[in-house]
Chain A
Amino acid sequence: MGIWRKIKPPFWDRRDSELELLNYRRLWRTTLLSAIAVTLAPLVFLAGINFYQFEEQYQLQRNEITSHVQRLLAVNKVQLANFLEERRAALTYVNLANTFDQLSDRRHLATVFRRLRQSFGGFVDLGLIDGQGIQHAYIGPYNLEGRDYKNQDWYKEVQIRGIYISDVFLGHRNFPHFVIAVRHERADDQPYVLRATIDTGKLNSLLSATDLHPIGDIFLINQQGVLQTPSTLFGGVLTRFESMPQLAGQMGKVTEVKQNNAPPFLVATAKVEGSPFLLVVVKQPAALLQKWDLLRINIIVMVGVSVAAILVVIWWGSATLVNRIYEADLRRVAMLHEVEYTNKLASIGRLAAGVAHEINNPVAIINEKVGLMGDILGMNPDFPRREKFMEQIRVIKDSVRRVSEITHRLLGFARHLPVKSEQIHLEPLIKEVLGFLGREAEYRNISINVDIPADVPTLEADKGQIQQVLLNILNNALAAVEDGDKIDISVASRDNEQVAITITDNGIGIASQDLQNIFEPFFSTKGEKGTGLGLSITYGIVQKLGGHIDVTSQPGQGTSFIVYLPVKQRPRRLEGASGEDAARMEV
């Protein structure tokens, strides 16, 4: 799933976001799948047709090779049969043309042998064997006269069938040759057998004339699968042809034979008429079909690369598209929220202004009445218990002042009065804000530690706004801590250009998924108790003052807010929207 994490679109995990207007996952999936279907379907269709046509061509080519093999087989079979038939016919002719007595004459036999060699070639020796199986006369390189063949299988076979052609053997001559023996039978003559040995070199040259380009072979085997002529692929004469068992019953047909790891061979076998030999033609189609295979690989690679490229582009394109929609929706929803927020603030502002006005009027009366009482007491030094009354008046005046301060704060810390940019000493300001909250901290036994070095510069800002910022953050800190916990406030100067006010609590902390949302309007973790406006407003004020806020939090360990404020204000237009002012009380 590591790859998925890297490639998934940004909107994927915002599925449950309250901001979501559409199901972006589904939208994306639909876009992706339909784009894939539209683009890949023709490609796959074309590739399919191409592949089908290719297969047909391939099969044609293969059939061509197969029929070539069959042609070779047929032609060579006939040639070989002719070769053998010629020699058999020659011997038969000698038989017919000569009597036993004539051939018994060694000179005559030598003449016949010489003529045979001249006319046909390949004859190595010639022997005359009488009716008892004894070699009566012999012309050849060895002295074999008088040998008894009576009990040998070939002699028995030639007696029965009239002709015998042997397998190829080395014999004591130690070169490959075979034997043709023909029985002589005439009513007027005694029976005899004419036996000739033939050199296989003649067979070899016959077969090697065949063109088997590029990889192929043609050779003879006997019924037991022993090579009768040398093979370039399968070994020399009298080696076993390993694929023989696979060819059983496949006479005349072209069969595919697999051998070890080599590419498959096409093998065809046919019996050479009138002989114990089987003609084998072998052809390796892979060599011929190599170009076709390359073409096939090229097509597969090309289609594969195209499909991959199309998929990447579609993936990227659809993700980008849906992400744009998602972002546009986000902006729209944010805007709607802002409008809602502004309206809400305006309502709160109107309400607060009305309340302040209604309170200020009776407070003004109380103020004047108690002032008058003071005036009267001032004029009557002998008034009974005058000091006691003066003390009461002082306390009432003090309370009036407090009420007045509260209504002023309610209206946004004197923003309804001309907004003032003044030099603010942070220490008294923080103490003043703590004056608001000190009571709650005291009740709940929460210790608030303040650490302000003496060299912290004064800030040029509106006092009410700074108070508001600190009040909001401290209120949240108080809400986050348990009774008996602590809150630390420290101030540090950064290059005399910025002041960093750090407020750290050891309360419940903020979950990491909430941390990114805490400055958004209406985001609250306090449930019904919070409006979700406090930190949003705080953030707005700090931004307007040219500063910024950092938050770090560990759930269960506490939260730290750092408010960075510039020492000097950039020139700016003073703002006076009453709604916003009033709403600054919200936490």
Chain B
Amino acid sequence: MKVLLIDDEKELVTTLSERMEIRDIDSDWATSGEQGLKMIQEQAYDWVVLDLKMPGLSGYEAIQAIKAARPEARIILLTGHSAPEDLDRALDMGADLYLVKPVDIDDLIALMQGGGKQELS
């Protein structure tokens, strides 16, 4: 399982990535939509964990681009808080599910390993 973490908070993605490494999960990170998209175009990821609100390429554009480039990649939105209509729009565009920060990394991994079927409380 290969995961790409995209968030403008560098400390968040780097730490998440490091913790995933500890849990033997292969992950990369990017601090902008553009950077993340470039990485997706270069290699395949099973999961993309994406912040919806970022400077530059917005979360929605990123979702569309990711889905265009890698339709098989599944997308988890990680958000500080978003209005339900924004989330609905993102889910309609191809995101698979969303989580509200902060998340427990073990829950996140379990969710991905379970194929995204498990709902978080």
Interface residues of A (CB under 8 A from B): 353, 356-361, 363-369, 371-372, 375-376, 379, 400, 404, 407-408, 411, 416-417, 576, 578
Contact = CB atoms under 8 A, between A and B. Distances in A.
Contacts of B53: 357
B100 A360 contact: yes
Nearest to B22: A375
B81 A357 contact: yes
A532 B33 CA distance: 44
A106 to B, nearest CB: 151
B80 A357 contact: yes
Interface residues of B, number: 22
Contact of A364 (B19, B82, B83, B103): B103
Given A357-B53, A379-B22, A368 B81 contact: no
22 contacts: A353-B83, A357-B53, A360-B79, A360-B80, A360-B81, A360-B100, A361-B12, A364-B78, A364-B101, A364-B102, A365-B9, A365-B15, A366-B102, A367-B101, A367-B102, A368-B105, A371-B15, A379-B22, A404-B102, A407-B81, A416-B83, A578-B84
A376 B21 CA distance: 12
A363 B53 CA distance: 16
B102 A363 contact: yes
B11 A365 contact: yes
A361 B9 contact: yes
B16 interface: yes
A363 B101 contact: yes
A357 B78 CA distance: 11
A366 B83 CA distance: 24
A578 B82 CA distance: 9
A333 B70 CA distance: 56
B34 to A, nearest CB: 20
Nearest to B84: A576
B102 A360 contact: yes
A410 to B, nearest CB: 9
A361 B9 CA distance: 8
A357 B101 CA distance: 9
Most chain B CB atoms below 10 A, which of A356, A365, A408: A365
Contacts of A356: 80-81
Contacts of B61: none
Interface string B47-74: 0000001000000000000000000000
A353 B81 contact: yes
Given A364-B9, A576-B84, A578-B83, A371 B105 contact: yes
A376 B78 CA distance: 24
A366 B18 CA distance: 14
A379 B24 CA distance: 13
Given A356-B80, A360-B81, A367-B103, 19 more contacts: A357-B82, A360-B79, A360-B80, A360-B100, A363-B101, A364-B9, A364-B80, A364-B101, A367-B101, A368-B15, A368-B19, A368-B105, A369-B15, A372-B18, A375-B22, A379-B22, A416-B83, A417-B100, A576-B84
Interface string B80-121: 111111000000000000001111010000000000000000
Nearest to A407: B81
Contact of B12 (A353, A359, A365): A365
A315 B16 CA distance: 79
A394 to B, nearest CB: 14
Nearest to A359: B80
Contacts of B11: 365, 368-369
A416 B85 CA distance: 10
Contacts of A376: 22
Nearest to A375: B22
A115 B36 CA distance: 166
A360 B7 CA distance: 13
Nearest to A411: B81
A366 to B, nearest CB: 8
Interface in B11-47: 11-12, 15-16, 18-19, 22
Contacts of B16: 368
B58 to A, nearest CB: 15
A358 B80 contact: yes
Nearest to B53: A357
Contacts of A417: 100
Contacts of B105: 368, 371
Nearest to A574: B84
B102 A368 contact: yes
Contact of B19 (A358, A371, A578): A371
A421 to B, nearest CB: 14
Contacts of A367: 101-103
A281 B60 CA distance: 122
A407 B102 CA distance: 11
B28 to A, nearest CB: 16
A390 to B, nearest CB: 16
A207 B15 CA distance: 143
Q: Can you list the 10 inter-chain pairs with the closest CB atoms, starting with the nearest?
A: A357-B80, A367-B102, A364-B101, A360-B80, A368-B15, A364-B102, A576-B84, A356-B81, A360-B101, A357-B81
A7 to B, nearest CB: 54
B80 A368 contact: no
A517 B18 CA distance: 57
